[in-house]
Structure 1
Amino acid sequence: MDAWTRRRFLLASGVAGGGAVAGLGALGLADLLRTASDASVREDHRKSRKLVIVTLYGGNDGLNTVIPYADPAYHAARPELAYEPDRVLRLDGALGLNPVMKGLSRLWSEQRLAIVLGAGYPRPDRSHFRSMDIWQTASPDGPTNSGWVGRWLDGVKAAPEAAVSFEPMLPPLLVGETRTGACVSIGGLKLPAGVTTEMIGVLGRREPNESELQARAADAYANLIRIDQLIRDAEAVGLPPDTTAEPDIAATGTGGASVLSDQLSRVAQCVEAGVPTRVYSASLGGFDTHAAERPGHELLLRQLDQALASFAGRLARTEAGRRVTVVVYSEFGRRVRANASDGTDHGTAGPVFVLGPQVTGGLYGEQPSLTDLDDGDLKATTDFRDVFGTLLASVLDADPARCLGGGYEPTMLPFVVPD
């Protein structure tokens, strides 16, 4: 049975979970934790810097996240959605955080939160999928087959566990030309009616004279059952007592399906165990707020705030945790003017959050004008590749020009404390 036959069977039968797709890396949480079994390796990786990338799928409304409360144009453009100045959590005399983001406000006061203003890219695209592809591949000039973390994996000839996603599917971000990261599903394997573990086992048997691609496909399917049990065994350990429960957000066409606090809890577990992973990917979906935005957006921002604040607090307790940096981004912001449904439509630039014990807090870049617009949208003031380039250089010790699309030479932003 060739690779494509196996893949068609998997897709047609509705088998999901385990993170196993033909040709891509798949690990269980217990597998991942076992990579830290060697004491010398474990101690070395506790001392290495690590990056956690949080993707907000759907296009987060940056103007109601980092709020230009002192600008009359903000209140005039969205009178039903705008927050009054006395409600925002002030950052300075012009900008403030959404009122529900009390945890990030505390991190700001502790100078552990950096906010990069007006992040975007040239010639913005308002398609969720194309814009997210641009952010994850760092290639605004045209489609490419590798993500910016994937190109880092290629360059260091990394093992799959060097970059791990706790999302339901491996994001393009972690896919390189010769190396890929690994996907560790939280939910485990879900088999539809009529599909048994024995059937999956048959798909996973290597056959004589198979090509390397076919053999890799067989191994991926063989891993489904093994990984499912490993995940269930690992999850039986339970979550730490300080984990805050939050409502699950259903997946949308733009991505995001798992509870963010659960994903970050597993990241923290791996960091504390000293596993050799340098990059983690997590996500939260639901930010496509075209109608009745205020209540839904506040729910999402509250979940984001609680998950990040809890994670940051846990990181601060250990030496390994204090070497973790978190970046939070979305594929685009929203339009300046509210629509007729008390929501906002697809826009362009927005803020990026960077946080952690090694972050120099503050505002970076320039807040875009609300009156000098591009067809009703914000003009980006910071190229997003400057953010990712800074993280590549300061956290992953990489050459940013090699990892960013088109050999882009980023401007370094001083939001990470040098070693």
Structure 2
Amino acid sequence: HGVGYDQPSFSHFSSMAFWQTGAPNSGEQYGWLGRMADVIDPLGHTKNFLVNIDDSQSLAVRSMNHVPLVFNDPDNFSRRMFFEEKMATAAIDARGNGSANPTQDFLFDIAASANNSEQLVRDAWNAYESPIDYGLVPWGLEKVAALIAADFPTKVYYVPYRNNAFDTHVYQGDLHARLWSYTSDHIAAFVRDMERLGRGDDVVVMAFSEFGRRVAENTSLGTDHGTAGPAFVIGKPVTGGQYGKMPSLTDLDEGNLKFTTDYRRIYSTLINGWMQHDHASAILRDEFSPIPIFSRSN
């Protein structure tokens, strides 16, 4: 309950950057998941540690030592090349590490990651079959399930709910109810699919939004960008329940809820309690006490 942070931004771009980096108002260039990958596997031994289901890479998975695997459509995850380009691509795959140009290294690493992984992704997707209905509006968790079924070594999958669907400035009532129906159907299907694959104990899902909503309705029968909101951690390993103090609907800050749970406590919970890494402060750059939602939380 009441998830937020001090001095909140009401800009989509800024607030999402704060959530994705875990570092509000700092200008941090790497994502919190990217930094987690760097700390847990500093030499980048785990290939495809990070997978981002989207058309472009999210700041959340930007890392110094890991190149996230980024794709949206598995069937078309391939690079069409002229004959002359194939020699250049082969040279990228064969190059060594550690040139004097880190920007060049970064670009080459992205190209090599895509070249090496595209066939694996297509094979996993083509082999994947499930009797589970992922709902009326699937938005990517079925692709995660396909890679998990193919035993990808990935530790973290990052999947956006696209097009700012929950930004309900207009006619929120009916729209919000439908969006939650689509969302719950899709996540519940993924959880059932993990059970079907025998991986229910191995996977948890975190769902969040960069904004809450203001308490008062606006003149368009919607609500505008707010501060504190809910976040969800879902899966068989989670000790179910409601955590954190519910914000007051009357004790407001200029019409906004006062946050009661710093969102980085949830990140600390996942790093410490789920990923079993003891030094979340090295990733989050500060101490945030984890929430006891996993039986194995420290």
CA distance in 1, matches of 2:152, 2:102: 28
How many residue pairs match? The answer is: 285
Alpha-carbon shift at residue 162 of structure 1 (Å): 1.1
Q: 1:400 to 1:218 in 2, by over 3 A?
A: closer
In structure 1, the partner of 2:62 is: 175
In structure 2, the partner of 1:402 is: 282
In structure 2, the partner of 1:361 is: 240
Q: 1:411 to 1:213 in 2, by over 3 A?
A: closer
Instruction: Report if the CA contact (8 A) 2:170-2:220 is conserved.
Output: yes
Matched, 1:266 2:143: yes
Matched, 1:415 2:293: yes
In structure 2, the partner of 1:65 is: none
In structure 2, the partner of 1:186 is: 73
Q: State the Cα RMSD in Å.
A: 3.0
CA distance in 1, matches of 2:120, 2:133: 22
Q: How does 1:55-134 map to 2 (within 5 A)?
A: 117-134=1-18
4+ runs deviating over 4 angstroms: 187-191, 202-213, 218-234
Q: 1:225 to 1:357 in 2, by over 3 A?
A: closer
Matched, 1:330 2:217: no
What secondary structure, in the 3-state scheme, does the structure 1 residue paired with 2:204 have? strand
CA distance in 2, matches of 1:294, 1:199: 55
Structure 2 gaps, min length 5: none
Q: 1:229 to 1:200 in 2, by over 3 A?
A: farther
Matched, 1:217 2:107: yes
CA distance in 2, matches of 1:362, 1:282: 24
CA distance in 1, matches of 2:86, 2:151: 36
Alpha-carbon shift at residue 212 of structure 1 (Å): 6.6
Overall identity of the aligned pairs, in %? 33
Give the letter aligned to residue 17 of structure 2.
Answer: D
CA distance in 1, matches of 2:67, 2:50: 8
Cα-to-partner distance string for 1:91-129 (whole Å, 9 max, x where unaligned): xxxxxxxxxxxxxxxxxxxxxxxxxx0000001110011
Instruction: Report if the CA contact (8 A) 2:49-2:66 is conserved.
Output: no
Q: Which moved more, 1:312-321 or 1:165-174?
A: 312-321
Matched, 1:135 2:19: yes
Matched, 1:384 2:263: yes
Instruction: Report if the CA contact (8 A) 2:227-2:256 is conserved.
Output: yes
Q: How does 1:209-288 map to 2 (within 5 A)?
A: 213-214=103-104, 217=107, 220-221=110-111, 231-237=121-127, 239-247=129-137, 259-260=138-139, 263-285=140-162, 286-288=165-167
Alpha-carbon shift at residue 288 of structure 1 (Å): 1.1
Alpha-carbon shift at residue 237 of structure 1 (Å): 3.4
Q: 1:150 to 1:185 in 2, by over 3 A?
A: same
Which structure's residues are more often strand, by fraction? 1
Instruction: Report if the CA contact (8 A) 1:203-1:218 is conserved.
Output: no
Alpha-carbon shift at residue 294 of structure 1 (Å): 2.3
Structure with the larger RCO, 1 or 2 (CA within 8 Å, 6+ apart): 1
CA distance in 2, matches of 1:199, 1:288: 46
TM-score, structure 1 as length reference: 0.61
Q: 1:218 to 1:415 in 2, by over 3 A?
A: closer
Cα-to-partner distance string for 1:233-253 (whole Å, 9 max, x where unaligned): 543335412133424xxxxxx
Q: Whose radius of gyration is greater, 1 or 2? A: 1
Instruction: Report if the CA contact (8 A) 1:360-1:416 is conserved.
Output: yes
What secondary structure, in the 3-state scheme, does the structure 2 residue paired with 1:351 have? coil
Instruction: Report if the CA contact (8 A) 1:189-1:224 is conserved.
Output: no
Instruction: Report if the CA contact (8 A) 1:392-1:400 is conserved.
Output: yes
